[in-house]
Chains A and B, each alone.
Chain A
Amino acid sequence: MTQLASADKKKRANTAKPTAMKSLEVEGHEATVGKVFTDNPKMTMRNVNVYYDDKQAIHDVSIDIAKNEVIAMIGPSGCGKSTFLRSLNRMNDTVDICRVEGDILMDGENLYAPKLDVVELRARVGMVFQKPNPFPKSIYENVAYGPKIHGLADTRVDLDEIVENSLRKASLWEEVKERLHQGGTGLSGGQQQRLCIARAIAVSPEVILMDEPCSALDPIATAKIEELIEELSENFTIAIVTHSMQQAARVSHRTAYFHLGKLIEVNPTEQVFTMPEHPLTEAYITGRFG
């Protein structure tokens, strides 16, 4: 059944390529099982295809991300989960050979509409990367960078306040308040990653994308970040890509399972890890491949 469906889809991808203006009618979503859609979506993705040159990395993915939820994306290496995540704030634009088709909407607004400014989009959809990548500047400058370029703070006092609040929200304030003007690269790996989170939330985004934020960290630092994600979900919508199933189980409300560029299953996290609907999901979480 799945094989048939995928063959069918491949054919469609080669013959009729969906355009951005296409209606939101969901096609072929029978391939994805589970609770794919929600009633109060923050972001809506329909029939998303991503290509690197001729190679298709994402096949016809449709999914909703609800307001203030934490959605985890899991799957074996090379399944396209990072690619998919990066198309949500158009970071894929920086890759010349990358092409995104389909509809990606936030609050009903098409993110790939020609008149949408990608700078504004990225201020609304922040991103935390796999490897902590603070700027080689001071801690303060790192957090203040976003507000500065977007002109969010009118005075120095405002800026100080934003920096302090962001660092507090990223539970880093107590550790760095004495050395705000020292280099951000001098912090430990876990602190650097929390600094990157503070930097991302300093511009008050609506959605935060996290691309394996803990893969370069030790277990203690990981635990801190996970705790932080839980706190942040009160104010932000979070999409997190992770290699670790335990992490997905700990932090997320819903889990999406990707396999070879296809979205196989989306369900509440508890259900995915206890009673997966799809045999591929079951195979993955029971460790038959990964």
Chain B
Amino acid sequence: MTESINHLEKIKNSLSRRNRAEKRFRWYGRTAIFIGLAAVLVLFTDIVNKGHGAFRITYIELEVTYDQDRIGVNNLTDPKELTRGNWEALSKTALRTEFPNVSGRSDKRRLNNLLSSGAGFDLKDRLVANPHLLGRKESIWILADDDIDTYFKSWLAGDAYAARLSSKQVQWIEGLHQQDKIRLQFNSNLFTRGDSREPEQAGIRGAVMGSLLTLILTLLLSFPIGVSAAIYLEEFAPRNRWTDFIEVNINNLAAVPSIIFGLLGLAIFINFFHVPRSVPIVGGLVLTLMTLPTIIITSRAAIKSVPPSIREAALGMGASKYQTVLHHVLPLSLPGMLTGAIIGMAQALGESAPLLMIGMVAFIVDIPGGFSDPATVLPVQIFLWADSPERAFIEKTSAAIMILLSFLIVMNTVAVWLRKRLERRW
């Protein structure tokens, strides 16, 4: 009798100990998740804080006279004549009209520096698009220089940064501000232009297009190859030393540092096959090599998760191996394969190291229109901007990171959604 009471006592004692252990364990888990979330939160707030400014940029309103004599162009449809035109005269004259009292060589230069160095060409584009403006006057918002932009934004935030401006320039800006002739506008250049040495003219369109072209090629190559390899290895290949060897090496390949793939691409695609450097073709080939192991491994996992009873049912009905795979295994494992492919693509989208090796790190202004145009990609664009000395590139870098992150978030959300949507239960 006493023994059984002792027994119960012991169980009770151990019970509270076990409960405490469980509680502790739960807290470990919660702490881990909290640390992870906090890290993500800090990262995101920092990036958004630095980068949100890049989506707006400073414009100055000026009275522009499209004076034919000053430009020196008669025919607006002749491209040769257009390149010869003195377009800068348009913006310079406009500034001179706004500030008639400025004199002296250096002051005039400072005045001209209020506007972006591309302001004249923006006016040219406007005139070519609207030829009826020739000889007329109009009031128009013109892109300001990046130093002005940096100063104006910091001044609006109450912490003016005037280190790169002269006191006269600061006065002019204040004068413009009093007349409401300087303001922040949505920065459409960021989305419509390619890279530039001038921060106010730099955009990510070129990098986005480069990433898109590279990814399309990567997907087109790596998904069919990866899925075929996975199906063969999982369903058809005999189990022997050779397939074990292949399996080990696919797993090894997944663990190879990505820069090695870049070196491989440089040696094989560029040096041996003479594919031009810096183009999406070679980028896509290299990223295909890099994502193949990921796609093969996830596809194999998806195929493995198809219950063997389904295969038995099909084989038992007299379906051939090929029919079993095509009619049953493939449709059931496709969601998993797609998820794997999207995750592989997300990985490829964020990859920069291998692309540095194959010359996709070049400074490219033109927006690539095809697979053989020189291009760069988003992460490399971030790397290039982060490396630039101009202060205005700080917020540009963060903005590009935000855009890259939002692409990645969208892709991963699609992957999760696809898995939820297409997943079958049995």
**Contact residues in B for A150 (Cβ distance below 8 Å):** 318
Q: Across chains A and B, which 3 residue pairs bring their CB atoms closest together, nearest first?
A: A122-B318, A133-B309, A123-B318
Query: B183 near A: Cβ within 8 Å?
Result: no
Q: Which residues of B contact A135 (CB under 8 A)?
A: 310, 313-314, 328
Cα–Cα, bound, A134→B319 (Å): 14
A contact residues, total (Cβ < 8 Å): 26
- Given contacts A135-B328, A136-B426, A185-B426, is CB(A91)–CB(B312) below 8 Å? yes
Interface residue A120 (Cβ < 8 Å from any Cβ of B) = yes
Query: Which residues of B line the A interface, CB within 8 A?
Result: 238-239, 307, 309-320, 323, 327-328, 332, 424-426
Instruction: Find out whether the CB atom of B315 lies under 8 angstroms from the CB atom of A122.
Output: yes
Q: Are B319 and A119 in contact (CB under 8 A)?
A: yes
Q: Inside 8 A of B310's CB, which chain A residues have their CB? A: 133, 135-136
A163 within 8 A of partner (CB): no
Q: Which residues of B contact A127 (CB under 8 A)?
A: 316
What is the CA–CA distance of A129 and B425 in the complex, to the nearest angstrom?
Answer: 19
Query: Given the complex of chains A and B, what is the CA–CA distance between A68 and B424 in angstroms?
Result: 39
* Interface residues in chain A, defined as those with a beta carbon under 8 Å from any beta carbon in chain B: 89, 91, 94, 96, 119-123, 126-127, 129, 131, 133-136, 145-146, 149-150, 185, 196, 199-200, 203
Chain A interface, DSSP helix/strand/loop, else mixed: helix
The 15 listed contacts between A and B (C-beta, < 8 Å) are A89-B316, A94-B311, A94-B312, A94-B315, A119-B318, A120-B318, A122-B315, A126-B316, A129-B313, A133-B312, A135-B310, A145-B319, A149-B317, A149-B327, A200-B317
The answer to whether A126 touches B313 (Cβ under 8 A) is no
Contact of A203 with B426 in the complex, beta carbons under 8 Å: no
Are the C-beta atoms of B332 and A149 separated by less than 8 Å?
A: no
Cβ-defined contact, B424 with A136, below 8 A? yes
Contact A126 to B317, CB < 8 A, known contacts A133-B309, A135-B328: yes
A200 to B317 alpha-carbon distance, docked (Å): 7
Given the known inter-chain contacts A96-B238, A136-B332, please indicate yes or no for A149 contacting B318, CB distance below 8 A. Answer: yes
Kindly provide the distance from the CB of B57 to the nearest chain A CB, expressed in whole angstroms: 54
Complex contact A122–B316 (CB within 8 A) = yes
Q: A96-B239, A146-B318, A149-B318 are in contact. Are A129 and B328 (CB under 8 A)?
A: no
A residues near B332, Cβ cutoff 8 Å: 136
Complex contacts, A126 vs chain B, CB 8 Å = 316-317
Task: Give min CB distance, A12 to chain B, whole Å.
Answer: 30
Q: In the bound complex, do residue B318 and residue A196 qualify as a contact, i.e. CB atoms below 8 Å apart?
A: no
Contacts of A129 in B (CB 8 A): 309, 312-313, 316
Shortest C-beta distance, B166 to chain A (Å), equals 74
What is the bound-complex CA distance between A85 and B311, given in angstroms?
18
Q: A136-B332, A185-B425 are in contact. List 10 more A-B contacts (CB 8 A).
A: A89-B316, A122-B316, A133-B309, A134-B313, A145-B319, A149-B318, A149-B319, A150-B318, A196-B313, A199-B317
Which residue of chain B is the closest to A205 with respect to CB atoms? Answer: B318
Residues in A whose Cβ lies below 8 Å from that of B311: 94
Q: Which of B317, B327, B332 has the most CB of A within 10 A?
A: B317
List chain A residues, Cβ under 8 A from B426: 136, 185
Q: Report the minimum CB–CB distance from B82 to chain A (whole Å).
A: 64
CA distance A129 to B238 in the complex (A): 25
* A121 shortest CB reach to chain B, Å: 8
Our pick among A91, A96, A136, A149 for the contact of B316 (Cβ within 8 Å) is A91
> Which residue of chain A has the shortest Cβ distance to B316 in the bound complex?
A127
